[in-house]
Structure 1
Amino acid sequence: MAKQAARQRGRRVRRGGSIFALALTLLGLGASGAGAQDGRASDGGAPDDLPATLIADSVSYDRETRRLTATGDVEVLYQGRVLRARAITYDQAADRIEATGPISLTDPATGVLLAGGAALTPDLRDGLIESAQVLIGEKLQIAAAEARRSEGRFTTLYRTVASSCEICAGSHTPTWSIRASRVTRDEVAQRIYFENATLQLLGWPVAWLPRMSVPDPGVNRASGVLVPMAQHSNIYGFGVKVPYFRVLGPTSDATLTPFLTTTGAKLLEGEYRRRFDSGGFDFNGVFALDDGLDGEFGRGAAFATGAFALPDFGLGAGFTTDFNLAVASDDAFLQQFDYSDADLLTSYARITRTRTSDYFELGSVAFQSLREDQASTTLPIVPLDFVYRELLAPRGLGGQLALEAQGLGILRADGQDTLRLGGDVDWRRGWTLPWGILASAGALGDFDVYRVWDDPTLPDSAVVRAEPNVNVELRWPFARAVATPAGVVSHVIEPIAQVIYSDTIGESDVPNNDSTLVEFDTTNLFSIDRFPGEDRVETGLRANLGIGYTRYDPAGWSLGATVGQVIRAEPDDEFYESTGLAGKWSDVVAALRLDIGEALSLVDRALFDTDLTFSRNEFTMAYVGATAGVRASYVFLAESDNPYYGPQPETNEFGIDARYRVLPNWEVRGLWRYDVTARDNLRAGGGVIYGNDCAQFDLSVSRRYTSSTNVPPSTSIGFSVRLAGLGGGSEGDWPAARVCAAQPS
């Protein structure tokens, strides 16, 4: 039959014929037994042996030799699999199939096989394939002089070259390749085994392994050794990490990473991950068998995070719990081995529930200081941190009523212990007045009871404090739209005025654990209380005044500005001078923001007095583009005297972190932090990445200029490699290393 006519008529050869038997056997499905005759699976399962389709220019059958021959662009289609060949011969007497190439077998489950010729048993369990090429998971290509099929699951290829890189006609040098004397693919275990393998980069051999194995590219999780990582530091020398990943089940896995250095350090990193229907957790840590510095045993660190949805314990649904654990053996370990520059570790556990009308939180917090001038024994441990808030709509009053109860417990190994229990009632209502003026009024009553231990300056008994607060607010937004040739430009101006009065009743000199650091900026300009916690309250008669302006341009950019100040009837002694809130007139706060599309954002926040003497200025810029990205910041904090932390030196720092793709496959990045006051570098670093569709090579260098008693300045160098198709994909949206020219037909 003619191929074109068969396609036009959708001709399908069904039961009982030799052509149907050939189609089934070529695809390894078998055609014997009742199942092949009636369309049902012989084991009573799913009807896997449904009719197949054979398309060819011509089909002939010799009854004497019992040979069926299909020639001329032969196609066999069955259950999504497609076999194409120039000619296929089925010898029923010899029970043998011969296919003349070029041959291609496409199987959605196992990939694509190309060959020059093949001789197979009808069930495809055994056979010989010449000049084979296998494409697995649309990533890994394996070319071999010959291949053998055995036991229906193993494909063994001899004298092979494997790569996931684009190889153009006439070129035999991919970015990376693995040459092996033999490669065996186990389709059941979904794993590929290499023997006598040599890894080549740009045609140069860089590593030899007598045996290695990798999972099929389509496997998301598989046990095995991951790509090693190399790094160098002038503290621990040259180090190598060789991670081993182990799948423990469908919802759990673990990674063990030996870390060996030239100074003799022997560290073991570990990570364990587990997921449940209700949540999951991650645990990771590092343990030093020998730190290679002083020969100490047992140094290390541990970290854990997790979150779970809790069952309904008769209190209603919606409760969740989350936790974070962070602990280190000493102040210097994390910095010495390039794990973290943190100077404070925070651990917590809490239970929360957030609903439309209420919020609940119960938690505990602990801290560990990694600063040489601060002992962890002086830091608080918070065994109790409790908040419950409920929103109501009171009849008669209108507006919204909020009821809140809270508790806080503070313990210290060295120092004061505190327990605080209290609550508040907060009512607020808004109105719209003539000319578009928005008005609101509120009243707040706060009540707290304190009990203090181990503090000779405070009475060894319970003390009570209450705070009444009343406030009103007026907003008058003006909006104007101006038509321009480019579109409509919108301007919004909004002056805001708040008047607040509050006072304390009872004992005002209570312990201060959560309000020791006050920051005044545009984010809390219109707050009724600018202390960050509950232990201090803002008192007296005051007015918060400010104005905001926003412009929306049709070209895709917007500009926003806010400026404001606080005016008091009498100074509030609770605010120390450097907060900008001391005195009758506060310093001026201002913020300016420019957004150009979604790519570029510039923000500046400042605090200055009426003489334009700045006590704080913070500038940030962020640009995120397809080929470049920049994050820059500048921070200025004037010298100050904090009564809780002592004198604070001037901070004047500049920082930038940038990347730029100089060529389609090359990207450079750099970072720099500079202390303007000390005229000294804080940190600098850079890196180069080469990436393409099949590989990524990352080289980075970092220098830390700061030092402490235990950790001197250090330089670190890192190098990592990712090869697509070998247990992981290359990161980033990298183009192919080359674009193959079209070949003449």
Structure 2
Amino acid sequence: MLGIAATAVLGSGSVTTPVHAQTVQSVAGLTGVEDDSPLLLQADELVYDRDRQTVAAVGGVQVDYGGTRMVADRLVYNQMTRRLVAIGNVEILQPDGTRATADEFDVTDDFREGFVNALRIVTPDETRFAAESAVRERGEVTTFNNGIYTACAPCEEHPEKPPIWQIKAQRIIWNGTEKTVRFENASFEFLGVPLASLPVFTTADPTVKRKTGFLAPSFRYSDETGFGASIPYFIALAPNADLRLTGTGMTRQGFLGEAEFRHRLTNGMYSLQIAGIHQMAPGAFSTPQDSSNTNRGMIGTKGRFEVNPRWTFGWDVLAQTDKNFSRTYEIKGFTDRVQRNDIYLTGLNDRNFFDLHAMSFDVQESDADGSGRDALQPWVLPTFDYNTISDYPLAGGELSFNVNARGIWRDDEDQTASATHGLDGQNTRITADTEWRRTVVAPGGLAITPILAARGDFLTLDTDTTGPYSATGASLTGNGSDSRWMATAGVEVRWPVLFTTAQSSHVIEPIGQIFVRPDETDAGMFANEDAQSFVFDTTNLFERDKFSGYDRVEGGTRANLGVRYTGAVGDDIALYGMFGQSYHLAGMNSFAAPDMVNAGADSGLETDVSDFVGMAGASYQDTFSTAVRGRFDEKTFDVRRAEAELAYTSHALVASAGYAYIDAQPTYGFATERQEVNGSATLRFEEFWRVSGNATYDITNRRLARTGIGLAYDDECFAIGLHWLQTRDNTNVKTNTFGFRIALRTLGDFGTDINDSSNY
């Protein structure tokens, strides 16, 4: 039974009437209510007509009905017809935040059917409906006559102006059960100007985030593929699973078909993606890989699962008919230049870390099969890391323990001077490493840290490469198993000194280290797969072992000296810097020993007295930052490597610039120096407009390697972006890419599909 409790200034009364069972739903400003929901009514005057069986509330009417609130000038309830009529300045606020206003509401008492004049609706996500009149039927379908739909708020300064975009339709049918909005005889208007007429189209209602149906199309263009249009179809298989089918027609290459299945479970999700094409004109491609294949395709899958709060299992795997298909046709999620196929298990708990990976690498390149880098990539079966720090102190110090293992299998050997080096066959390594350190602070703030470390390696090798390694002249150990060990005793001394003034504070910290250890066992004679990339700078100046991986180990007695500075001026300015040098004192210098890649050559550490390394930086609030880093010859102080960067951020402007210099490294195949400067900026003008640009200039080859500009508008309901990107390769061949993207909130977006569009 529905109870009406009323209080009035001039009188009060009550009436009861039955209410039918009703589900909670919201359609066009009318909300169904639960059975036995009370209706609370307040008005200036309450009039009960027993003959006509009506109750009229007049003046300042306020109603609370099952969580829905209504205000009106007058409300009449007819017990015989079971209808509620609200008249004059009617406004309804639903529990979900939907707000509806009208001149008149005439509805049944269960809100299942009704008629509304001059209706306006604003949903919680700020979408808006307006109509001359609206009719609700069966509690699920509302029809707007001569309606307007938009997701744009009216202009605060000029509310009389039309919104940026709106759809006017003779009829708008909002189906609350199917969650669809159907537009009949519709016209799409932009800034009040009609741009397109649509006899009929249907979209999901504003409350729906996932619904089966066509998505907005996208477009692409290139000289090789021609103009392409993609039409995706989305299938909501279940609340936690969906399938997207995409067909792309290209004027030069034909039809590209794609399918992506996604499934979310309680502890993670996985996806499966396939794509394929029969190229109509392979000869349109200038690159051998793309032009030598007609039928091309791929299958890829990704997954990630939280086994429990400590363990994560996942994978990322791609298989394709040739090594460049996914990159050429921009298959979403698989366009990286180097695709790492990876199956992994990681664990993290307190001070313990476990990481296990099985990997292979696909280099998506345009060279024909059998050439380039792809055929030289290894299988990594597996790579393993385990790190732990003891919870209990040992002799007052901290004890850590690390295990690392890796297995490499490769079909072909690579000894080219300019590519990543690698052995054919198989090679493995298992490393166990432990370190103990304890810091003692002496009077005056002098911090002394003794360090003890021990490490052992077990290695195996099975390769057809014998004798000296031709690319570097290094000799390798023979096939079979081997071992090596390293023990280190060292001490680090730091003395931070604080200087303060009324407005600033400064800490200058001299640092000295010395590590005593034997020579590296069979230096450079073992396979080096994970310590090939090496850059000596301030980040590793004070590392016990400066090599970037475990395949090489630093030996001999070495001292590291430097000074570190941090400072603050007021509350806004931060300063920092470091400068230092390293000295090989005794034994074999591991960085001077050749290996299969000559990892230490031209590094600045191959001589007994290293190059100088330094860095300095400053920042002002969150607005401005700058940093410079460099390595300088130990005798002439000539620049061997340098980097500089500058960044500025404000509401109107975000800008950055960078410079990089690397001296000639003949050992690595770079006979001349390399210099490059780059910059990017985004300027926001007006409130929603911004213009962007970036450029990279190759100083060495005197060419503009990359240029891009973009223009974008973005507000709460509409966005548009235009961009142009030009790149040049080493032979100065230019590639131009143009793109655009238009987004209409709640309706979707469409335009060209370009991987770099986010940069503009």
User: What is the TM-score of this pair, normalised by structure 2?
Assistant: 0.83
Q: Which moved more, 1:165-174 or 1:138-147?
A: 165-174
Please state how far the C-alpha of 1:114 moved relative to its aligned partner.
Answer: 2.3
Q: Which moved more, 1:224-233 or 1:376-385?
A: 224-233
Pair 1:267–1:630, CA change in 2 (3 A): farther
Asked if 1 retains the 8 angstrom alpha-carbon contact of 2:8 and 2:45, the reply is no
Asked if 1 retains the 8 angstrom alpha-carbon contact of 2:323 and 2:374, the reply is no
* Residue-by-residue CA offset, 1:46-74 (whole Å, 9 max, x unaligned): 97524322222322233233333322232
2:486 maps to 1:467: yes
Aligned equivalent of 2:384: 386
Aligned pairs, how many?
690
Counterpart Cα distance in 1 of 2:681 and 2:118:
48
Aligned equivalent of 2:736: 715
2:179 maps to 1:211: no
> Between the two proteins, what is the percent identity of the paired residues?
27
Asked if 2 retains the 8 angstrom alpha-carbon contact of 1:214 and 1:727, the reply is no
Pair 1:310–1:590, CA change in 2 (3 A): same
* Residue-by-residue CA offset, 1:254-286 (whole Å, 9 max, x unaligned): 333333333344223444333333223345564
SS of equivalent residue, structure 1 residue 377: helix
Pair 1:28–1:280, CA change in 2 (3 A): closer
SS of equivalent residue, structure 1 residue 423: strand
Pair 1:483–1:285, CA change in 2 (3 A): farther
Counterpart Cα distance in 2 of 1:520 and 1:502:
21
Aligned equivalent of 1:73: 60
Aligned equivalent of 2:544: 528
Counterpart Cα distance in 2 of 1:396 and 1:254:
56
Aligned equivalent of 2:665: 640
Equivalent position to 1:350, from 344, 351, 363: 344
* Residue-by-residue CA offset, 1:649-679 (whole Å, 9 max, x unaligned): 5321122222111111211111211111111
Aligned equivalent of 2:152: 165
Asked if 1 retains the 8 angstrom alpha-carbon contact of 2:126 and 2:153, the reply is no
SS of equivalent residue, structure 1 residue 435: coil
Asked if 1 retains the 8 angstrom alpha-carbon contact of 2:220 and 2:227, the reply is yes
Equivalent position to 1:563, from 568, 575, 579: 579
Please state how far the C-alpha of 1:640 moved relative to its aligned partner.
Answer: 0.4
Give the structure, 1 or 2, with the largest relative contact order (CA under 8 Å, sep 6 or more).
1
Aligned equivalent of 1:411: 409
* Residue-by-residue CA offset, 1:554-585 (whole Å, 9 max, x unaligned): 14110101011111125442364421111111
Please state how far the C-alpha of 1:170 moved relative to its aligned partner.
Answer: 6.8
SS of equivalent residue, structure 1 residue 583: coil
Pair 1:491–1:102, CA change in 2 (3 A): same
Counterpart Cα distance in 2 of 1:356 and 1:439:
27
Aligned equivalent of 2:533: 517
Equivalent position to 2:745, from 724, 728, 733: 724
Asked if 2 retains the 8 angstrom alpha-carbon contact of 1:707 and 1:713, the reply is no
In the alignment, structure 2 segments of 5+ residues that lack a partner are: 1-5, 25-32, 285-292, 414-423, 468-476, 594-598, 751-760
Aligned equivalent of 2:50: 63
Asked if 2 retains the 8 angstrom alpha-carbon contact of 1:234 and 1:714, the reply is no
2:458 maps to 1:449: yes
Pair 1:470–1:452, CA change in 2 (3 A): same
SS of equivalent residue, structure 2 residue 444: helix
SS of equivalent residue, structure 2 residue 683: strand
Counterpart Cα distance in 2 of 1:94 and 1:538:
93
* Residue-by-residue CA offset, 1:114-140 (whole Å, 9 max, x unaligned): 222243333332332222222233422
Please state how far the C-alpha of 1:304 moved relative to its aligned partner.
Answer: 4.4
2:487 maps to 1:477: no
Please state how far the C-alpha of 1:507 moved relative to its aligned partner.
Answer: 3.5
Counterpart Cα distance in 2 of 1:111 and 1:249:
27
Aligned equivalent of 2:447: 438
Q: Which moved more, 1:86-95 or 1:528-537?
A: 86-95
Asked if 2 retains the 8 angstrom alpha-carbon contact of 1:282 and 1:304, the reply is yes
Q: Which moved more, 1:536-545 or 1:425-434?
A: 425-434
Asked if 2 retains the 8 angstrom alpha-carbon contact of 1:400 and 1:428, the reply is yes
Pair 1:256–1:704, CA change in 2 (3 A): farther
The AA in structure 1 aligned to 2:296 is R
1:79-118 alignment to 2 at 5 Å?
Answer: 79-109=66-96, 111-118=98-105
Please state how far the C-alpha of 1:91 moved relative to its aligned partner.
Answer: 3.5
Pair 1:8–1:333, CA change in 2 (3 A): farther
Please state how far the C-alpha of 1:382 moved relative to its aligned partner.
Answer: 0.6
User: RMSD over aligned Cα, in angstroms?
Assistant: 3.2
SS of equivalent residue, structure 1 residue 148: strand
Aligned equivalent of 1:150: 137
Pair 1:234–1:555, CA change in 2 (3 A): farther
Asked if 2 retains the 8 angstrom alpha-carbon contact of 1:217 and 1:727, the reply is no
Aligned equivalent of 1:542: 558
Pair 1:481–1:126, CA change in 2 (3 A): same
Q: Which moved more, 1:447-456 or 1:318-327?
A: 318-327
The AA in structure 1 aligned to 2:729 is T
Asked if 2 retains the 8 angstrom alpha-carbon contact of 1:52 and 1:76, the reply is yes
Aligned equivalent of 1:318: 310
2:261 maps to 1:261: no
Pair 1:258–1:72, CA change in 2 (3 A): same
Aligned equivalent of 1:494: 509
Asked if 2 retains the 8 angstrom alpha-carbon contact of 1:263 and 1:293, the reply is no
Aligned equivalent of 1:692: 715
SS of equivalent residue, structure 1 residue 65: coil
SS of equivalent residue, structure 2 residue 502: strand
* Residue-by-residue CA offset, 1:76-132 (whole Å, 9 max, x unaligned): 222321222332333444444433233222223482332222433333323322222
Asked if 2 retains the 8 angstrom alpha-carbon contact of 1:178 and 1:200, the reply is yes
